[in-house]
Structure 1
Amino acid sequence: MQKQEFQQLIDKYLNGQATADEVQLLMELFDNAQTNNDWDEQTLGVKHELEDKMLQRLQSAVQQSQAEHQPKIFRLLAFRNVAAAVIGLMVISAGAYYSMQRKATDKAVANKAVVKHDADPGKNQAVLTLDNGEKVVLDSARIGTIAQKRNVSITKTKDGQLVYQASRGSDSPANGPVTYNTISTPRGGQYQVILPDGSIVWLNAASSLKFPTAFTGNQRHVELTGEAYFEVAKNPSKPFAVNVGALNVKVLGTHFNINAYTDEDNIKTTLLEGLVQLTSGNSHSLLKPDEQGIVKGDNIQVVEVDAQRAVAWKNGFFDFNRATIRDIMKQLSRWYNIEVVYKGKVSDDEFMGRIERSVKLSQVLHVLELSRVHFKVEDKKITVSP
């Protein structure tokens, strides 16, 4: 392709006039230039300009989608070779591209083998284990009061919440010994629980929360596995603490997320509002809003982050920020309840982007395949290959 034609193609893309075929061609041209290290001064200058403009476009598209509350799937961008990334071609928002091609894409995807064994997204489902060992399957339990323990009623709402509250006329729901309940979500499940003190907890897939049916004494303690987002009711005289193995997260009243899956390398606590103290062994750290504490063993590292990314799952999105395909597949595995295996050397490319969690598995895999990752789906197993 002549340089003049190449520049015209770039201009069409930046003006939003490029067809899907032209976008694909542009991607291939830049990718070939990166592979062959064939950057001349003009092309390299265009590349840097595209990086800035397209990153701005992606951010704008995401913000517009959120403002309009419209269901959109945003194409992931792949950082190839990271340091000298060809961001220009991969930073493509599906706000325009995907919506224009959606009907054609859906028809094409329907003919792929990946749909033959499709999977629905996760939903509100969990099991409540009472203090006597009785188990209540919440997704099939009727709406209304599902248990009455001493002076505490346990209610399921139509919105998929589990609510603990003192019975009417009871001034002291905590009389008698403290009893504990555990709510557990399976792979492919999520649930929300309102604790006896009014604190709200959102549980992600494959997670569990153990808590007392009434908070007595001068502290409030719960135990977490997996991932959860907390909005803690303020009570300065009774601090709230979350135990995650050896890690203790102590707060008075605040909003934060804890990711503590056992297949992750570390535990991440991300603060959105308030102040929390992290304690692991002899290490202690305070977090401020938009900070994340990364805990591995007794070591605590505090970094600045965009805290909203950490709770995207609670708001209905996968939000990938320079995530590898293995990072992404861990999340898909939990949410779609599938097994993931790898064949051959899978690229270390990093991906950035946002995809709704309400779509079928095939749609997510199709978005990923646009960045040259391949999948084979058989029953509840996905094989990932280059």
Structure 2
Amino acid sequence: MSQPEFDSLLEKYLAGKCSQAEEAAVLEWYQTFIQDSDISMSASEKEGLERKVWSNIRSNIRLDRKIFAINSIWKKIGVAASLLLISGLGAYLINREIHNASPTIAFDDVAIPANYTSTSNDSKETKTIQLIDGSSVSLQPGSKIYYPRQSFNGNSRDVFLAGNAFFEVAANPDQHFMVYTSEGMIAEVLGTSFYVLQDTERKKVEVEVISGKVSVYEHHGRSRHRERDTASSVILSPNQKVTYKPEHNRFVTTLVEKPQPVKIHADQETFSFEEAKLSTVLETLEDVYGIQIEVNNPGFANCHFTGDISKQDLYEKLDVICKSVQAAYEIKGTMIYINGNGCK
């Protein structure tokens, strides 16, 4: 069957005007190519495939009459897939590497390489995955990650995450480590440790940095290696996090819920003070936690603090300090502000 003949047959099928023999021919191709192949697709992948192939159909074939309902939605997808393949638009399906390969799906229009494998965590415990470059991934329950079987090729080390995970990335200045999320956000690092947390119900992604620096930005277009828009990117330091909501294309930065010491040998740092200047106390906290702290009143220069706050976490420390000088603290972005009248 020639290309024009198949296009004509497809158009008739979509319009509900195929004969039984013609309909059988179309569905037989679908049965052979999709259902009897080694392709494995989840319900979400099928839904994503449906949207993509129908988008391509609408932009590549013009029907002059109404498309009638087809009994089975998967008959639509089978026909759509055949159109994509025969008209030269079938790269999406072909790249799934039908023979003994993990599925290649699209994360925000980015195809996962055919040589990637995947690991899902269907248990109730965190699953640790060692990557070929020496990095490790703590995959949380209900999550899935795609990564290369043998080696990372190209200028970057790309992985694809659906769900939540903690990454400890092996340093490699020649290959940045890039985490693509299903919400269209990328976290890019050299060597560091950080969390990627996706909330599908609230449609948001959070990145929390434990050590090192992480660049977070939106992904645009189909190329995995397209330059990022620096105007819509955020660079995070330890104890900082960013929340990304794709529906608003917006990044919101703040501090993590429980900041941890980032200074080397922080456990040897003393938080026992005797009539210490407030500025000295706050500088110690800044140094240990890597968080900038500002006061809103010059009068705080006259304040002193006495106490042992070694066992409290950062926010508890601040509560004790602020209570002693009749002040209050607030978090704005990635900074902490001490507000009050100061001391005389």
Same fold judged by TM-score > 0.5? no
If each structure's strand is expressed as a fraction of its own residues, which one has the higher value? 1
Look at both structures and tell me which one has the larger radius of gyration over its CA atoms: 2
Bigger RCO of structures 1 and 2 (CA < 8 A, at least 6 apart): 1
TM-score, with normalisation over the residues of structure 2?
0.38
